[in-house]
Amino acid sequence: MVKVTYVAHDGTRTELDGDPGDSVMSLAIAQGIDGIVGECGGSMMCATCHCYVDEDWAETAGPRMDGEEDMLESAACEVTERSRLSCQIKLTEALDGLVVHLPEEQV
């Protein structure tokens, strides 16, 4: 199992266990995390799974995937250097303990 902590805009923290290969988005949707919508189901066709990777995890989570930058242009909240589409972050053992922050709104 890979632990992921989701930090809501109000600071509420929710820790979940996912399986390697799951995306940060799919885990959030399956467990009912408010703040991740995932309208396109993870096909990188929207930005409703926008998140901010915690600065301590930015390097380990890796750079944005091809096309991710374009989709982030339609994000409802500010895009920063730590912005990612959570559908594009696949869980691995190296990401055990990952922390992501959720924007104030997605749509």
Break the chain into its structural domains and give their ranges: 2-101
At the topology level, CATH places domain 2-101 in Ubiquitin-like (UB roll) (3.10.20)
CB half-sphere exposure, 16, CA atoms < 13 A: 20
This model's pTM is above 0.85: yes
Give the pLDDT band of residue 10 (cuts 50, 70, 90).
very high
> 103: pLDDT confidence band, cut at 50, 70 and 90?
very high
| CB contact set of 41 (below 8 Å; sequence gap of 6+) | none
pLDDT in tens, 37-71: 999 999 999 999 999 999 999 999 999 999 999 99
Q: What is the pLDDT of residue 107?
A: 78
Helix (H) or strand (E) holding 72: helix 68-72
- Nearest-angstrom CA–CA distance, 30 and 78: 26
pLDDT of residue 40: 95
